[in-house]
Amino acid sequence: MRDLLPLYIEGDCGKETERLLAAHLKTCNECKGIYDMMQSPLMIQKDDRMIQEIAEVKEERRFKERYYRRLILTGTALFCGGYVLMMALYLLLF
């Protein structure tokens, strides 16, 4: 009977099954308790610690993205500067 409760709540079971479940719920307190629990809305509490951890992870990701972007741009600028310097020396010497 417990396996059929979700179908009964959603109205997805046949008329005969629905009738049997309704009769069973009138006599079985255990199943009635489960039925009532399934009917009540689920309250989800926000955990401030978890929200803080998520914010810290996002901030760390943003920091790493900025850091590595700056590192790559600096490396590229140094390489290009070195290349231009080498070409200038080559043109001056030859």
3-state SS track over the chain: CHHHHHHHHHCCCCHHHHHHHHHHHHHCHHHHHHHHHHHCCCCCCCCHHHHHHHHHHHHHHHHHHHHHHHHHHHHHHHHHHHHHHHHHHHHHHC
Q: Write out the two tokens for 19.
A: 């009738």
pLDDT at 46: 67
pLDDT at 94: 82
pLDDT along the chain (94 residues), means of 10: 86 89 91 87 73 90 95 96 95 89
> Are 20 and 51 in the same domain?
no
Q: What predicted TM-score, i.e. pTM, was given to this entire model?
A: 0.44
pLDDT at 52: 85
> Are 61 and 16 in the same domain?
no
pLDDT at 3: 85
> Are 94 and 71 in the same domain?
yes
> Are 56 and 91 in the same domain?
yes
Domain around 94: 45-94
Domains held by the chain: number: 2
> Are 70 and 52 in the same domain?
yes
Burial 59-79 (b: 16+ CB within 10 A, else e): eeeeeeeeeeeeeeeeeeeee
pLDDT at 41: 77
> Are 12 and 26 in the same domain?
yes
pLDDT at 8: 87
